[in-house]
Chain A
Amino acid sequence: MSDQIGKIDQEKFAALIRKRVAFATVMTLVMLGIYYGFILVLAFDKELWSTKVGEHMTLGIPVGLIVILSAWIMTGIYVSWANKTYDDSVRDIIHGMRGR
Chain B
Amino acid sequence: MNDFTTTIGQPNTISIAFFFVFVAFTLVITYFAAKKSKSAAQFYAAGRSVTGFQNGLALSGDYMSAASFLGIAGLVSLKGYDGLIYSIGFLVGWPIIMFLIAEPLRNLGKYTFADVVAYRLRQKPIRIASSCGSLMTVAFYLIAQMVGAGSLVKMMFGLNYEAAVVVVGVIMIAYVLFGGMLATTWVQIIKAVLLLGGATVVVLLVLAHFDFSPVKLFDAAALKYGDKVLAPGGLVANPWDALSLGIALMFGTAGLPHILMRFYTVPDAKAARKSVFYATGIIGYFYILTFIIGFGAMVLVGQDMITKIDKGGNMAALLLAEYAGGTVFLGFIAAVAFATILAVVAGLTLAGATTFSHDLYVNVFRSGRASEEEEVKVAKRGTVVLGILAIALGLAFKGQNVAFMVGLAFAIAASANFPALVLSITWKNFSTAGAVASIVTGGILAVGLIILSPTVWVDIFQYKTAVFPWKNPALVSMLAAFAAGGLFSVLMPDAEARAKYDEQVIRNYLGVGAE
Contacts and interface: CB of A to CB of B under 8 A. Distances in A.
Contacts of B24: none
B506 to A, nearest CB: 7
A91 B81 CA distance: 47
A35 B511 contact: no
B96 A17 contact: no
A72 B503 CA distance: 33
Interface string B196-231: 000000000000000000010011001100010011
Contact of B230 (A1, A35, A61, A78): A61
A61 B92 contact: no
B87 interface: yes
A56 B219 contact: yes
Contacts of B232: 42, 46, 49-50, 60
B299 to A, nearest CB: 12
A93 B287 CA distance: 41
B227 A56 contact: yes
Interface in A2-48: 2, 4-5, 8, 13, 16-17, 20, 24, 27-28, 31, 34-36, 38-40, 42-44, 46
B28 interface: no
Interface string A55-92: 11110110011011101101110110011000100100
A4 B227 contact: no
Nearest to A41: B232
A61 B81 contact: yes
A54 interface: yes
A-side interface mostly: helix
Contacts of A16: 509
A34 B227 CA distance: 26
B92 A49 contact: no
A35 B99 CA distance: 15
A31 B509 contact: no
B98 interface: yes
A68 B91 contact: yes
Interface string B77-102: 00001001101110110111011100
Given A35-B246, A68-B288, A75-B94, A83 B231 contact: no
A34 B507 CA distance: 32
Contact of A4 (B87, B99, B223, B506): B506
B236 interface: yes
A1 B84 contact: no
Contacts of A43: 236, 239-240, 242-243
Contacts of B274: 79
B370 interface: no
Interface of A: 1-2, 4-5, 8, 13, 16-17, 20, 24, 27-28, 31, 34-36, 38-40, 42-44, 46, 49-50, 52, 54-58, 60-61, 64-65, 67-69, 71-72, 74-76, 78-79, 82-83, 87, 90, 93-94, 97
5 contacts: A39-B89, A46-B231, A60-B84, A72-B281, A76-B281
